[in-house]
Chains A and B, each alone.
Chain A
Amino acid sequence: MTHNLRAETITMTGHGGDSIEAYLAVPTDVESCGSVVVIHHMPGYDEATKEIARKFAANGWAAVMPNLYHREAPGADPDDAAATARASGGVPDERLVGDVAGAMEFAKSLEISNGKVASIGYCSGGRQSLLAGCRLPLNAVINCYGAYTVIDSPAESPLRASAIVGEVGGLTGPLLGLFGADDQYPSPEQNEILAEALRAAGKEFDFRTYEGAGHAFFNVDRPSYRPESAVEGWRVIFDFLGKHLG
C-alpha cells in the first residue's frame, strides 16, 4: 500500500433531493474498495474531520463526508456553520438519515466501489452513525463515543437527541463501539445498557472501552487526544472494516 489518494470537495444529493456539499477521499492505489460515510462531530465539517476522511483513503477505503450544516450555512467557515446550526436547533434525525442514505448511494456509484458501505461518526456523529445503521442497510456501523443513545438529551435543550436504543433491531450490519472509560456522555453504564439491548436483539457488536481516555480521544488537535487509545482504536477500526467491507 502506497497511501496514495485523491481528495476533493464534491456535490451530492442528500435528504429530500437537496444538493449538499461533501468531502470525498478515495484511494488511488487499489482497484476496488469498500466505502465509509464519515459523520462529522457537532463542531462541524472541519479540517480535522476531513483529515479523518483522508486517513481512511490512505488506508484503502473510500470516504464520503456530507456537510450536515450545508443547508444552514453554505460556504461558511465550519465554526460559523456549527454555531448557526446549533442556534437553529441542530440536525433533525430524519434529515441526517437522508443525508447518510445519499452519501451511501454516492459511495456505491464510485467506479472503485465494491458495493459495501459502512458509517462512522464521532461525538454527536457517533449517535447519528448508530441511528443511520438502525434505519439504513449499512454493511457495518461504527459509533465513536456517541452520547444520548440510551437516554434523551435534556428536555429543555433546543437541540433534540432522543434515545435510539429501541431501534437497534433495525441494524443490518455489525456495530463497533469505541468509548472512553472516563467519559460520562456516554458513560460506561449507558454503553452497557446499549450492549444489553443489542444482545437481546441478537445483534453482532464489539464494544471497546479505553482506560485513561475520556470523550473525543481521537481528536488529534484537542487536549482530549489520547494517542495510545487513538492508535489502538484506528487499528480496531481498520480490522473491523477489513472483516466486514472487504
Chain B
Amino acid sequence: MCTYQTETVEVRASGKSTEGWLPLTSATVYFDHPVHFPSGHALMIDVRNADRGPGARLALEMDAPSARALAEAILQTLASVPEDLQRDSLVKHP
C-alpha cells in the first residue's frame, strides 16, 4: 500500500549531501514504498531544506527494527548528555 501517514517536524540541523554540507530545516517521517531499500515497505526519513530546492535532501530508508533502534539510540544519547551541553546545541553562532 501507499501509506499516506506522514509526520513532519521542523528541525535545526546540518547535513552532508553530494553537494557538501547544507543547513536543514524540516524532516518528514513515513512508512511507505522505498526507492532503494530492498523491501516492499520501509521507514523513511527525509531531512530537507525546502528553500534550497528538492535536491537539498538527506534520505534514509530502513526496516522497522532499525528505525526503532536508531530512535532509541538518539533518545539514550540525549538522556546521557548533561543538560547544559544540550543547551549548547541551541546556541546560534554566526
A21 CB-CB contact with B under 8 Å: no
Contact of A80 among B6, B26, B55 (CB under 8 A): B55
Complex alpha-carbon distance, A214 and B41, angstroms: 12
| Chain A, residue nearest B1 (CB) | A185
A109 CB-CB contact with B under 8 Å: no
Interface string of A179-220 (1 = CB under 8 A from B): 000011110000000000000000000000000001110000
CB <8 Å contact, A86 and B6:
yes
Q: Which residues of chain B come closer than 8 Å to A215, judged between CB atoms? A: 1, 40
Q: A77-B55, A223-B39, A224-B40 are in contact. Are A84 and B6 (CB under 8 A)?
A: no
A163 CB-CB contact with B under 8 Å: no
B20 CB-CB contact with A under 8 Å: no
Interface of A is mostly: loop
* Stretch with Cβ within 8 A of B (4 or more), from A97-105, A151-159, A228-236: A151-159
CB <8 Å contact, B33 and A42:
yes
Report B1-39 residues with CB < 8 Å from chain A CB.
1-6, 8, 26, 28, 30, 32-33, 35, 38-39
| Chain B, residue nearest A152 (CB) | B4
CB <8 Å contact, B55 and A41:
no
Complex alpha-carbon distance, A158 and B9, angstroms: 12
Complex alpha-carbon distance, A14 and B73, angstroms: 46
Complex alpha-carbon distance, A6 and B37, angstroms: 32
Report B32-89 residues with CB < 8 Å from chain A CB.
32-33, 35, 38-40, 46, 48, 50, 53-55, 57, 59
For the complex of A and B, the 4 pairs showing the least CB-CB separation, nearest first, are A185-B1, A76-B54, A73-B54, A159-B4
Q: Which residues of B contact A (CB under 8 A)?
A: 1-6, 8, 26, 28, 30, 32-33, 35, 38-40, 46, 48, 50, 53-55, 57, 59
Q: Which residues of A contact B (CB under 8 A)?
A: 41-43, 72-73, 76-77, 79-84, 86-87, 90, 123-124, 147-148, 153-154, 156-161, 183-186, 214-216, 222-224
